[in-house]
Amino acid sequence: GAVVSQHPSRVICKSGTSVKIECRSLDFQATTMFWYRQFPKQSLMLMATSNEGSKATYEQGVEKDKFLINHASLTLSTLTVTSAHPEDSSFYICSAVQGSSEAFFGQGTRLTVV
């Protein structure tokens, strides 16, 4: 299947700093990318949907100023967690879809804010 590369896989940062997570579709052009957050032993919670060249659509309750999403090209979307706090510690996963085909997931990023 298609490959979606998410980087970094793990990151530890200090409270108050910002962290950028990259999601790349390596062998296809992703018309839509999704960003999810997953707490331990829970399901994936959709944070936002991003389409190339347009502003991301955020889910209710997700602060767009805190979780900045940029989908600058058909192969790259980034999620920046700004002014991170310990409660932002979580597993973040991106997925990419090409047209009406299936969704492919990145490897996930485990963020720990200390």
Partner 1 sequence: ELKVEQNPLFLSMQEGKNYTIYCNYSTTSDRLYWYRQDPGKSLESLFVLLSNGAVKQEGRLMASLDTKARLSTLHITAAVHDLSATYFCAGINNNDMRFGAGTRLTVKP
Residues in touch with partner 1 (CB under 8 A) = 1, 6, 32, 34, 36, 41-44, 46, 49, 51, 93, 95, 97, 100, 102-108, 110
Q: 66: burial class by Cβ within 10 Å (0-12, 13-18, 19+)?
A: middle
Least distance in angstroms from the C-beta of 22 to partner 1: 14
Nearer to partner 1 by C-beta: 25 or 95? 95
Q: Minimum distance from CB of 61 to partner 1 (Å)?
A: 13
Least distance from partner 1 to the Cβ atom of residue 50, Å? 10
Closest to partner 1 by CB, 43 vs 114, is 43
CB 96, min distance to partner 1, A: 11
Q: Which is nearer to partner 1, 78 or 106 (CB)?
A: 106
Structure-token match 């310990």, residue found: 86
Query: Which letter, b or e, does each residue of 41-56 get, where b requires 16 or more Cβ atoms within 10 Å of its Cβ?
Result: eeebeebbbbebeeeb
